C-alpha cells in the first residue's frame, strides 16, 4: 500500500495537476476576480463579468483584477497538489491494477476532496480576504481589512476571530467536493467511452466539458462558500451562514 501512495506516478500526477491549475488560474484570474466580487458584493449593479471588470479597473486601477494573485496561486498550488496526490494514490490502492468504474472514480474523488478541504481551507480563507482587500464595495456590511501578507492575515484572523475562523466555509466546501468528484467521473467516463488514444486538444475539450457540468451543478454552494470565507461583516458571526443563503 505504501508503495502505491508514495509512488513516483502519484507525485507526477500531483505536480501536473498543480502546475496545470496554476497556469489556468493565472490566465483567467480577472474572471475569477469578477466572480468573487459578484458573489460577495450583492449590491453591485453590474451583473456580468465584462461590466464588473470595467468597473474594477476604472475605480481601483489597471492591476486591480490581479489583486491577490500570489496568495491565490500559493493556495491553488497546494490544494491541487493535495487533491491530485490523494486521488491517484487512493485509486492505485483501491483498484490494484483493475479497471475503474464511474462510481469508483466518484467515491475516490469525494474522499480526496474531503482530505483536501480539511487541510487547505485556512489557505483559501486567507487568500479570499487578501484578494478582496482594498476593494471598493457597494455593500456597507463588509468591513475592510488591513493585512500585510499571508502570514499577517493568519495572525490577525486567529487573534481577532479565533482559530476556528480559518475554517470558515468548511461545510459548503465539504459539499463542494462533489465538484471535482463529478468532474473526474465525467472526465474518466468520456475517456473510457472513446476507447482510444486522445490528442492533447481532445483531452482539453473533455476536461472543459467535465468542469463546466460540475461547476454548473455546484455553483450555488460556491456562492455561499465565498461569503462565509470573507467573514468580515457587521452582522454577528452566527448569522453568516443564514446571510449567505439569503443573498443567494
- Banded model confidence at residue 167, pLDDT cuts 50, 70, 90: very high
Q: Which three cell numbers stand for residue 50?
A: 465584462
pLDDT for 235: 44
- Per the structure, the count of domains in the chain is 1
Q: DSSP letter at 233?
A: B
Domain membership of residue 169 as a residue range: 2-247
Greater confidence, 106 or 116? 116
pLDDT for 166: 93
pLDDT for 117: 92
Q: Are 91 and 13 in contact (CB under 8 A)?
A: no
pLDDT above 50: residue 2: no
Greater confidence, 147 or 106? 147
Residues 26-36, mean pLDDT to the nearest whole number: 88
> What values do phi and psi take at 142, rounded to 5?
-85, 120
- Banded model confidence at residue 37, pLDDT cuts 50, 70, 90: confident
Q: What is the percentage of the chain residues whose pLDDT exceeds 90?
A: 13
Q: Are 123 and 74 in contact (CB under 8 A)?
A: yes
How many angstroms separate the CA atoms of 89 and 98, rounded?
14
How many angstroms separate the CA atoms of 80 and 116, rounded?
8
pLDDT above 90: residue 192: no
Greater confidence, 28 or 10? 28
CATH number for the domain spanning 229: value is: 1.50.40.10
pLDDT, one tens digit per residue, over 210-229 is 888 888 888 888 888 888 88
pLDDT for 97: 66
Instruction: Estimate to the nearest angstrom the gap between the alpha carbon of 76 and the chain centroid.
Output: 7
pLDDT, one tens digit per residue, over 84-103 is 788 878 887 887 767 777 77
- Banded model confidence at residue 27, pLDDT cuts 50, 70, 90: confident
Q: Which three cell numbers stand for residue 136?
A: 471598493
pLDDT above 90: residue 162: yes
Q: Which of 233, 182, 183, 240 is nearest to 207 (CA)?
A: 183
Q: What is the percentage of the chain residues whose pLDDT exceeds 70?
A: 85
Amino acid at each position: 500500500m505504501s508503495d502505491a501512495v508514495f509512488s513516483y506516478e502519484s507525485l507526477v500526477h500531483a505536480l501536473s495537476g498543480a502546475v496545470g491549475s496554476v497556469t489556468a488560474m493565472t490566465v483567467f484570474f480577472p474572471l475569477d476576480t469578477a466572480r468573487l466580487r459578484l458573489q460577495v458584493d450583492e449590491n453591485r449593479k453590474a451583473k456580468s463579468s465584462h461590466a464588473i471588470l470595467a468597473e474594477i479597473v476604472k475605480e481601483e486601477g489597471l492591476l486591480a483584477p490581479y489583486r491577490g494573485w500570489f496568495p491565490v496561486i500559493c493556495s491553488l498550488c497546494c490544494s491541487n497538489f493535495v487533491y491530485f496526490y490523494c486521488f491517484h494514490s487512493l485509486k492505485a490502492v483501491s483498484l490494484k491494477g483493475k479497471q475503474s468504474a464511474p462510481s469508483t472514480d466518484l467515491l475516490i474523488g469525494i474522499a480526496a476532496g474531503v482530505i483536501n478541504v480539511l487541510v487547505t481551507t485556512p489557505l483559501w480563507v486567507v487568500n479570499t480576504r487578501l484578494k478582496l482587500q482594498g476593494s471598493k464595495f457597494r455593500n456597507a456590511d463588509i468591513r475592510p481589512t488591513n493585512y500585510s501578507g499571508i502570514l499577517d492575515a493568519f495572525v490577525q484572523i486567529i487573534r481577532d476571530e479565533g482559530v476556528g475562523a480559518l475554517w470558515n466555509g468548511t461545510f459548503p466546501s465539504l459539499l463542494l467536493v462533489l465538484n471535482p468528484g463529478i468532474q473526474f467521473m465525467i472526465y474518466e467516463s468520456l475517456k473510457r467511452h472513446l476507447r482510444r488514444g486522445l490528442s492533447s486538444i481532445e483531452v482539453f475539450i473533455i476536461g472543459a466539458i467535465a468542469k463546466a457540468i460540475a461547476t454548473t451543478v455546484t455553483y450555488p454552494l460556491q456562492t455561499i462558500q465565498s461569503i462565509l470565507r470573507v467573514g468580515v461583516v457587521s452582522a454577528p458571526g452566527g448569522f453568516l451562514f443564514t446571510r449567505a443563503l439569503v443573498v443567494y
